[in-house]
Structures are given as C-alpha cells and as structure tokens.
Amino acid sequence: MAYKNDPLAASTNSARQWFIAVAEKLDTDDLGFVCRVVRAWLHAVRDRIGVVSSAHFTAQLPEFLRGIYYEGWVPSHTPVGHRAGPFLTQFAQEAGVARDEVPRLAGAVTDALTTQFSPGQLDHIFAVLPVRLRQVLRGETIDETTASHATHETDTNRIDELEQRLRLLGDAIAVLARGLEQLPTGDTGDKRRAAAAQQAHRILIAEHLTTASTEY
C-alpha cells in the first residue's frame, strides 16, 4: 500500500543517500553490509568522544542515522578508553568482519561521511581522539604491538593526550554544571546533584583522570 504524505519519507531518503555514498566507497551494492559497517563506525566513535562532542556530531546526521548512533548508548559509560586494540575489536564485532579489515572499512566510511557533513565537521570530531584512532578512521593500518609497548612517546602524542584530557575535563564540568543549574531544594535536588556528580566522575575515570573510588 502506498501512503500519502509519509512523514518518514524525507528522513528515510536522506539516510539512504548517506548509505549509498558509503556503498560507493566500499564498491558494494549490499546495503545490509553497509548498514553494519556504518553502525560499527558510529558506535566505535560515539563511545570515545563523550557526551558533549556527541551532541555536536549528531546535529548533522539524518534522523535514521541519529537513531542508529544512539542505539544502546549509555552516556554515563562514555567515553571508554582510547587504546587501539579494543577499538578494532569493537568495530570488527559490530560489522561482522575480521580485525585486519577494519582500517579499510573505517577509512571508506570516513571518506563517504566527509562528503555528507559540512566542511571540517569530522576534523573537529576527530580532534578529540588520539592519533592512533584517527589513523584507523582514515584507513591507515597501525602496528598495535609497537603502539602498546613503546617506552617513549613522541611530542605529538604527548600533546594529543594532554588535549584529550583537557576536553574530557571540559565534558565533565559541562555535565556537572547542567546538573546543578536551577535545581530545586530537597530530596529531588540532592538526587539530581548526586547523579550529575556521578556522571562527571565516570567521565574522568574513563581516562584515569582521577583515582578516587568515592560513590556519590
């Protein structure tokens, strides 16, 4: 049956255009496979950029892709760690591919999404990620063994790590500030304060910015 004035048509068509852009980069007509790869890309990035960056990132996504992005998301558990190994494993499992295929697939998705987002949008999001993850997302193969056991970091990596920690601090402060603004007094206000403090604390723990184990 054909429906008139379908409110989902525009969103569906927009998402389809994004999937087709990825399919062309992957040189495949299997949109089911494309959907799995895009989902893996979105979730792997989402879990590592934090709440505030996610809000900026999803603002330009079609509604359908925004739904995929937030599927199963637990904001208080993000961002997770930024080691390359878990990133590759998560991506591979969600996409249903081998780990060594991840850089090629991730790079294809990145290339396609770059054409759909406004200029510089992905660069802005990638700026909160460490160098090794940016390399994977741009299609570069990395040496995990070397990355995991290097005894000396380059100046670039040290600066990158510092910037990432500063951004996480900013995310934590933003979450805490929103939770404390114009709160009512009494038990409800106390619970909301505790929830905001707890979420900010989890953000810091994700990157070992605090060693406290206090439960709020």
123's CB contacts (< 8 A; 6+ apart) are none
Q: Is the pLDDT of residue 145 over 80?
A: no
Same-domain pairing of 207 and 117: no
C-alpha–C-alpha distance, residues 104 and 89, integer Å: 14
Domain membership of residue 205 (yes or no) is yes
Summarised one tens digit per residue, pLDDT across range 98-108 is 999 999 999 99
Same-domain pairing of 140 and 166: no
Q: Is the pLDDT of residue 185 over 80?
A: no
Helix/strand/coil (H, E, C) string of the chain? CCCCCCCCHHHHHHHHHHHHHHHHHHCCCCHHHHHHHHHHHHHHHHHHHHHHHHHHHHCCCCHHHHHHHHCCCCHHHCCCCCCHHHHHHHHHHHHCCCHHHHHHHHHHHHHHHHHHCCCCHHHHHHCCCCHHHHHHHCCCCCCHHHHHHCCCCCHHHHHHHHHHHHHHHHHHHHHHHHHHCCCCCCHHHHHHHHHHHHHHHHHHHHCCCCCCCCCC
Select from 78, 76, 91, 87 the least CA-distant residue to 49: 78
Same-domain pairing of 123 and 188: no
Mean pLDDT of 68-96: 91
103's CB contacts (< 8 A; 6+ apart) are 135, 136, 139, 140, 141, 142
Say if CB 24 and CB 112 are below 8 A apart: yes
Q: For the chain, what is the domain count?
A: 2
Same-domain pairing of 71 and 171: no
Same-domain pairing of 111 and 132: yes
Mean pLDDT of 24-45: 96
Mean pLDDT of the chain: 79
Domain boundary among 113, 145, 177: 145
* CATH code, domain with 103: 1.10.490.110
Q: Is the pLDDT of residue 211 over 50?
A: no
* Residue-number span of the structural domain to which 171 is assigned: 154-216
Same-domain pairing of 121 and 16: yes
Domain boundary among 145, 170, 201: 145
Find the largest Cα–Cα distance for the chain: 64
Summarised one tens digit per residue, pLDDT across range 165-179 is 666 666 666 666 666
Confidence (pTM): 0.67
Same-domain pairing of 192 and 139: no
Domain membership of residue 138 (yes or no) is yes
Summarised one tens digit per residue, pLDDT across range 14-24 is 899 999 999 99
Domain boundary among 84, 116, 145: 145
More confident residue, 121 or 214: 121
Query: What is the separation of C-alpha 142 from the centre of its chain, rounded to a whole number of angstroms?
Result: 20
Same-domain pairing of 93 and 45: yes
